[in-house]
Amino acid sequence: LGVNGLLPRFPVTGPVGRNQTERPNGKGNVRSGRTTAEDPSVARKKEGYVDSFGPRRPNHKRTGPTDDTHTVRTRGGNKKYRALRLDCGNFSWASEHCTRKTRIIDVVYNASNNELVRTKTLVKNAIVMIDATPFRQWYESHYALPLGRKKGAKLADIEGGALVKKRSKKLEKKIKERQKVAKVDPLLEEQFMTGRVKACISSRPGQCGRCDGYILEGKELEFYTKKIKSKKGK
């Protein structure tokens, strides 16, 4: 029997006393009881990374026709925006200083895990295929030159005759100066022929809720093109 002839609330290992009782502790140190059988005030919010509540499941952002973003409360009452499904984003064409919102078509390469390619998961540094139409329209209006068009295509039939429309003398002079430096990477121009270009995601969709990135060019484009071909050949 315990103190005053009563049974103790919990098993004890030593002499029975008020401060010698032990409470079962199955929730880790965060919510452990005190020796006085008093419930402590918890000075933190529940989150998946706390060991007491088990590991947090990974969140996979997938390509899809809807834009689904959830708000997550973080430390200090701040917010994170967790994208669950995205189908578009802002991508920049660095060599031309041009950024356009465009559609994400497919995930083609991920250096960390092939499973993320199979499930079309959007993560930082993933290589995706995006729609090239907004960038082609900008290039043709800025330089008045065709990009990614078949040989022999009539300029009057391209984008409703945008390349042959009448312009002022001042604008014509400006466009001719631009055309002197209008050079596109041959590998990139081949992609414009198909209507799709490879791009790399530079944002973190699971943290900021956006899927932004940049178009691959130069040696980086050559590197990832070889990687994708070697994986397809296996």
Neighbours of 128 (CB within 10 A): 25
Q: What is the model's pTM?
A: 0.70
- Can you point out the beta strands (E) in the chain? 62-63, 68-73, 79-86, 88-93, 98-109, 127-131, 196-201, 213-215
First-to-final CA distance of the chain: 73
Listed residue (84, 91, 90) closest to 65, CA to CA: 84
65 pLDDT band (50/70/90 cuts)? low
- The residues, any chain, with a CB within 8 Å of residue 9's CB and separated by 6 or more, are 21, 37
- What DSSP letter does each residue of 159-214 carry, written as one string? GGTTTS----HHHHHHHHHHHTT----HHHHHHHHHTEEEEEE-S-HHHHS---EE
Looking at domain 62-233, its CATH architecture is Roll (3.10)
For residue 135, pLDDT beyond 90: yes
For the ranges 35-44, 106-115, 197-206, the lowest mean pLDDT is seen at 35-44
Within the chain, all domains assigned CATH 3.10.290.70 are found at 62-233
pLDDT of residue 12: 44
pLDDT of residue 219: 94
pLDDT of residue 25: 46
For residue 232, pLDDT beyond 80: no
Q: Mean pLDDT score of the chain, rounded to an integer? A: 79
Residue located via tokens 């419930």: 39
For residue 128, pLDDT beyond 70: yes
pLDDT of residue 10: 44
